[in-house]
């Protein structure tokens, strides 16, 4: 034993360098990681860094700014409209996400049953997601039109209302309307992802639970839901991120109006930076979104952690 150990340690010392490095897992790992790291640095970190930097300057369009420290943030702290946009974003994200989750899960459960024309229905469900956002936003713009809204028209025909509904002109209506449009657009992602999750649950588990005496509600509560939680965590994190950073729908439908009632942080940031020309202030608003997004990502990190029952043992 000791002889062989000696030869192993003694021999390579003379010619370590390259051939040795080529077998070092850590070194190789770093080497292979390098292209991806450079890519990330250039295309992700640089713009992000630039944005953060801009937030500390008074840059305007066409005029390089100087470092102003926290001035932008101090201004925002006093800014009623900024705080309104924070409130709007949280309201929008919370209500839309809860609705998307509830309706998406419900739809996924229905689509997971044996039903005729299954493939057809699954394809239909995906439609809202396939249509480009701007296109569907324009469609909603028509649906919500103050005079030509099909909803108002139908309700009037049925005799339920006398005058067309002012969907986008009234603060509460406008908020509800943009949330409805976002939910319509976001449901397919949630429903199809959860459906994929449901299909990984072996049918025999449901059969076993049925024989154990579980009602369909109890099967949902004790089998489906716990087994679906890892996927719910991922799906809802993405859904929250998408919703929180939503821009297109709002910008086409309301541009933040009426009276900033539907201004989200993303739309306000754009409004201040590009049409308003205050790049520094716009950047500061965008940077203010980061803590919220980090919180969502942390939530997903803990949600994503493999639960104890998923660990250990090979099949």
**Contact pick of 187, 223, 253, 279 for other proteins (by CB under 8 A):** 223
279 with 65: CB under 8 angstroms? yes
216: contact with other proteins by CB under 8 A: no
207: contact with other proteins by CB under 8 A: yes
Nearer to other proteins, 90 or 214 (CB): 214
Three-state DSSP state, 50: helix
194: contact with other proteins by CB under 8 A: no
Nearer to other proteins, 180 or 214 (CB): 214
Nearer to other proteins, 169 or 226 (CB): 226
**Contact pick of 81, 109, 227, 233 for other proteins (by CB under 8 A):** 227
Q: How far apart are CA 210 and CA 206, in angstroms?
A: 6
Nearer to other proteins, 188 or 197 (CB): 197
Size of the site for other proteins (CB under 8 A): 25
217: contact with other proteins by CB under 8 A: no
DSSP 261-313: TT--HHHHHHHHHTTS--HHHHHHHHHHTHHHHHHHHHHHHHHHSPPGGGSS-
307: contact with other proteins by CB under 8 A: yes
Angle (deg, nearest 10), helices 265-273 and 279-288? 170
313: contact with other proteins by CB under 8 A: yes
CA atoms within 13 A on the CB side of 34: 6
Nearer to other proteins, 198 or 286 (CB): 198
CA atoms within 13 A on the CB side of 100: 32
Nearer to other proteins, 62 or 312 (CB): 312
189 with 128: CB under 8 angstroms? no
**Contact pick of 166, 210, 245, 248 for other proteins (by CB under 8 A):** 210
DSSP for residue 221: I
φ, ψ at 184 (rounded to 5°):
-55, -40
116: contact with other proteins by CB under 8 A: no
Q: How far apart are CA 196 and CA 235, in angstroms?
A: 11
**Contact pick of 21, 41, 50, 208 for other proteins (by CB under 8 A):** 208
- Interface region with other proteins, contact rule CB under 8 A, candidates 1-9, 13-21, 201-209, 279-287: 201-209
Residues in contact with other proteins by CB under 8 A are 202, 204-205, 207-215, 218, 222-223, 226-227, 307-313, 315
């Amino acid at each position: 034993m000791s002889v062989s150990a000696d030869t192993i340690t003694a021999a390579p010392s003379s010619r370590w360098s390259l051939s040795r490095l080529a077998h070092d897992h850590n070194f190789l790992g770093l080497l292979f990681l390098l292209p991806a790291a450079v890519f990330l640095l250039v295309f992700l970190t640089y713009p992000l860094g630039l944005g953060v930097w801009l937030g500390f300057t008074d840059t305007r369009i066409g005029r390089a700014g100087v470092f102003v420290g926290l001035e932008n943030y101090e201004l925002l702290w006093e800014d009623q409209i900024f705080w309104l946009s924070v409130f709007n974003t949280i309201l929008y994200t919370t209500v839309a996400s809860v609705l998307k989750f509830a309706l998406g899960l419900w739809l996924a459960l229905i689509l997971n049953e044996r039903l005729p024309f299954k493939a057809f229905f699954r394809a239909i469900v995906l439609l809202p997601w396939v249509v480009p956002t701007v296109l569907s936003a324009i469609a909603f713009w028509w649906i919500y039109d103050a005079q030509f809204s099909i909803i108002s028209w139908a309700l009037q025909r049925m005799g339920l209302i006398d005058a067309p509904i002012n969907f986008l002109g009234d603060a509460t209506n406008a908020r509800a309307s943009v949330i409805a449009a976002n939910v319509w657009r976001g449901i397919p992602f949630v429903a199809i992802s959860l459906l994929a999750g449901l299909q990984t649950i072996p049918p025999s588990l449901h059969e076993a639970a049925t024989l154990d005496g579980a009602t369909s509600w109890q099967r949902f509560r004790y089998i489906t839901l716990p087994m679906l939680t890892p996927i719910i965590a991922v799906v809802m994190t993405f859904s929250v991120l998408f919703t929180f950073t939503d821009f297109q729908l709002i910008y086409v439908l309301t541009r933040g109006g009426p009276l900033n009632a539907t201004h989200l942080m993303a739309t306000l940031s754009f409004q201040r930076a590009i049409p308003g020309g205050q790049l520094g202030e716009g950047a500061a608003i965008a940077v203010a979104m980061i803590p919220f997004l980090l919180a969502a990502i942390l939530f997903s990190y803990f949600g994503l952690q493999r639960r104890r029952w998923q660990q250990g043992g090979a099949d």
